[in-house]
Structure 1
Amino acid sequence: MPITGVATPADHALQRRTVGTLVGSQMLGGVGVSSGIAVGSLLAEEILGSPDLAGLGGTFQVLGGALVAVPMARIMARRGRRPGLNFGYLLGIAGALALTAAGVVRSFPLLLAGSVLFGGATAANSQARYAAADLAEERHRGRDLSIVVWATTIGAVLGPNLVGVAGRLANVLGIPSLTGPFLFSLTGFVLAAALLALRLRPDPLLHARARAEAAAVEPLAHHGSVWRGFRVAAGIPAALLGILTVSLGHAVMVSVMVMTPLQMHHGGAELRVIGFVISIHVLGMYAFSPLVGFAVDRFGARPMALVGSGVLIAATLLASRAPTGWSWVLTAALFLLGVGWSFTLVSGSTLIAGSVPVDERAGVQGASDLAMGVAAGGGGALAGLVVGQLGYDVLGLCAAVLSATIAAVALLVRRPVTTA
């Protein structure tokens, strides 16, 4: 049931506090997630001695985030956002430790297991955007959601640029240089979890439910099953369009992004240059999201999903033409890849947040992140095989086709009318 009634000054103050706390946790968690992403495929290649399966490290991180969305949705349905988000960060802490150990003992199975756990932090960072929308006014839902997405910029851009420092720290500690960034991940996750535990009070989802129940004629039953969430979304055009938009956009972004460090490394690019390009990509993902949120609130989510599709097509075609190694063409392509992803994420997430009743919210949003993770995990796995057998340029062309599918879906689902 949508939240009803006129917002009071106390409501506005609570929403500002909620968004502010989530902004802080996203900054810290962003350092952790992006530090690991920047070197994940490189560590896998170093352990394996071959690039063919190196994409599996990033793929298992994505799949881990998808799998964690299932228990996280149930925890949020029963206990609220704060316990659910911290559950993800605790898994991320365990994953960072396991990935560090995998690099030390050169164990690929341990790397894959650690990657799955590491994905828990990715899931927490992703679900935080919905926490920002729980108490948001309808006219500012896209804005508030996008501010939390934007907050990841600082940590996410800083993370890849700390790769060189982290490598030197690892050498001082006597462990492989590529494991150093995971020590930064560990620190970021611990601090993010501590901030949420102390400051995300009252819990935004529980508070939204209390307001909805006060206006309800009958008691509400709160559902946290992602499988039920898929069934509910199938009956709400706006929610269905939102899930498809964020899933396809995420698949395009991940499939190209996880293989770019290998493409650059094979062309002789230094680790610090790879980190710079990934940071430019992450800047595109997050830095302009408040503008995207404003556009979604002003012009509508479906038109902005179409814009995102167009930007992703341009990015992937540009990437397919880039030479091996470092180039401004590749840097521009990765930047646009991030911007296109931002449009699809914010527009799709706003559709989901605004169209689903509060008693079904945790399950549908968990279903959305599960679909995102599975789509991106499959794309990342196929990306490694495509690059290994056919080349990075073919990967770019395949991603362009998938990007065009987003526009087709947005045009086919004609009536994404929100109910909240």
Structure 2
Amino acid sequence: MTSTAPADATTHMSDPAQAQRRVLRVLVASQILSGAGLAAGVTVGALLAQDMLGSTTLAGLPSALFTAGSALTAVAVGRISQARGRRPGLATGYLTGAVGSAGVITAAVLDNPVLLFLALFVYGAGTATNLQARYAGADLAAPGHRARSVSTVLVATTLGGVAGPNLAAPTGTLAEHLGLPNLAGPFMLSGAAYALAALVLALRLRPDPLLLARTVARAEAAAAPARAAASDAADATDGRGGVVLGALVMILTQLVMVAIMTMTPVHMHDHGHGTAASGLVIAIHIGAMYLPSPLTGWLVDHYGRMKIAAASATTLLAAGVLAATAPGDSIALLALALALLGLGWNFGLVSGTAIITDTVPLATRARTQGMVDVSIAIAGATGGMASGIMTAATSYPALALTGGILSLALLPAVAATAYRR
């Protein structure tokens, strides 16, 4: 296994740009599939828990569990990628997400909350892997095009991400025809989508982008050892601050986004809206999370990481204020609020990912990226769990407004880093 990977990389080393184009095509295909798997589960996870438990207080627990599960998977995918390359790491993560989807369906059939929560934890592997794939898009990219390469991978999730929630009602009907609970239907879609994404990556992600990037870097270092050593020293110095800032940007945007997103379907359900309406709003939200990615990537590469990171904070504030003030019966205003929420998250994720990729050397890149995504997942789990508790104790508007205000904590961190530079 270890002897074939370098050979695979060497075969394509003569034209890394051509290899990058192939890598991006394969990642786009897998992200379309995985986006459908991710979005379908997000749409009905909270509703399934509420239906089983008969309580809104723990409705945020599913989101907390599959984001907690994604934290563990982020470590595993990062370590497998570090040791063997992106292909086995990403394929393993998606396959694990498919297993979790099957577990959720089983729990729904048995009406077993304990099994549901355990399966949702495993299902979170798909979420982590979906995010980790963005790093694979940047491995072979030129420094001035990294954000755009990341955005290409992210935007591919849009097609599946928008389709997934809108298939919640039809897959629920299909599940009923098969003798399964209605809310198990979207997880049937998730399981199939994650399994197909794993298959595409396992068969088609050749050359492995991380292994090839290392091979190219070693060749360049051998050709110019003094320059490479100076570059490595500079990377190590810049990397420490870059990792902290990039992680902070992505952690706060994830925390705010997950908290507000998780409770929006429950908030709509409490105001008499059905699954189709909440699915539409979540579809718009997920579209806004990924569809602007090409523009965001260009903005990050053209105007700089810091300015777009700051823009994420102000966009999330606007989303929180609008969600807090929108009437519960207004689907249009809630959809706009969730669109702004997705856009703010997109600004934070693309700029934060570019900061991390710029400053972490190839020798430790995958492992560091995995650990950063652990922090992001923990933030998401915290947001998901706290959202249900806070909504039960106060209200959805209070939750949304608090999240918007919290996002402003990014501004002093970005300003301090920009000043030091």
Q: TM-score, normalised by structure 1?
A: 0.92
**Compared with structure 1, are the counterparts of its residues 241 and 116 closer, same or farther at alpha carbon in structure 2 (3 Å cutoff)?**
same
The equivalent residue for 1:34 is 39
User: What SS is found at the alignment partner of 2:207?
Assistant: coil
1:215 positional shift:
3.2
The equivalent residue for 2:308 is 304
Aligned counterparts of 2:238 and 2:176: Cα–Cα separation in 1: 52
Q: Does 1:331 align with 2:335?
A: yes
User: What SS is found at the alignment partner of 2:418?
Assistant: coil
Select 1:245's aligned residue among 236, 246, 249.
Answer: 249
The structure with more helix, counted as a fraction of residues: 2
Select 1:395's aligned residue among 392, 399, 408.
Answer: 399
Select 2:357's aligned residue among 353, 358, 362.
Answer: 353
Aligned counterparts of 1:174 and 1:347: Cα–Cα separation in 2: 46
The equivalent residue for 2:118 is 113
Q: Does 1:408 align with 2:408?
A: no
Q: Does 1:291 align with 2:270?
A: no
1:327 positional shift:
2.7
1:145 positional shift:
0.7
Deviations 1:310-367 (A, max 9, x none): 1000001111112224432111100100001000000000111111100010121011
Aligned counterparts of 2:68 and 2:25: Cα–Cα separation in 1: 29
User: What SS is found at the alignment partner of 1:414?
Assistant: helix
Aligned counterparts of 2:31 and 2:200: Cα–Cα separation in 1: 10
Select 1:386's aligned residue among 382, 385, 390.
Answer: 390
Contact 1:267 1:326 in 2 (8 A): no
Q: Which amino acid aligns with 1:22?
A: L
Select 2:179's aligned residue among 165, 174, 177.
Answer: 174
Aligned pairs (5 A) from 1:67-216: 67-216=72-221
1:412 positional shift:
2.3
Aligned counterparts of 2:163 and 2:91: Cα–Cα separation in 1: 22
Contact 2:150 2:297 in 1 (8 A): yes
User: What SS is found at the alignment partner of 1:405?
Assistant: helix
Aligned pairs (5 A) from 1:263-302: 263-302=267-306
- Percent identical among aligned pairs is 43
Q: Which amino acid aligns with 1:162?
A: L
Q: Does 1:370 align with 2:374?
A: yes
The equivalent residue for 1:14 is 19
Aligned counterparts of 1:200 and 1:233: Cα–Cα separation in 2: 33
Aligned counterparts of 2:127 and 2:294: Cα–Cα separation in 1: 20
Aligned counterparts of 2:385 and 2:88: Cα–Cα separation in 1: 31
Aligned counterparts of 2:194 and 2:13: Cα–Cα separation in 1: 34
Aligned counterparts of 1:141 and 1:163: Cα–Cα separation in 2: 34
Aligned residue pairs total 399
1:415 positional shift:
6.0
The equivalent residue for 2:323 is 319
Q: Which amino acid aligns with 1:51?
A: T
1:260 positional shift:
0.4
The equivalent residue for 2:261 is 257
Q: CA RMSD in A?
A: 1.9
The equivalent residue for 2:56 is 51
User: What SS is found at the alignment partner of 2:401?
Assistant: helix
Contact 1:238 1:416 in 2 (8 A): no
Q: TM-score, normalised by structure 2?
A: 0.92
The equivalent residue for 2:229 is none
1:401 positional shift:
1.9
**Compared with structure 1, are the counterparts of its residues 36 and 233 closer, same or farther at alpha carbon in structure 2 (3 Å cutoff)?**
farther
Contact 2:277 2:331 in 1 (8 A): no
Which consecutive residues of structure 1, in runs of 5 or more, have no partner in the other structure?
A: 1-6, 219-231
Deviations 1:76-124 (A, max 9, x none): 1110001110111111011001111111111111111111111111111
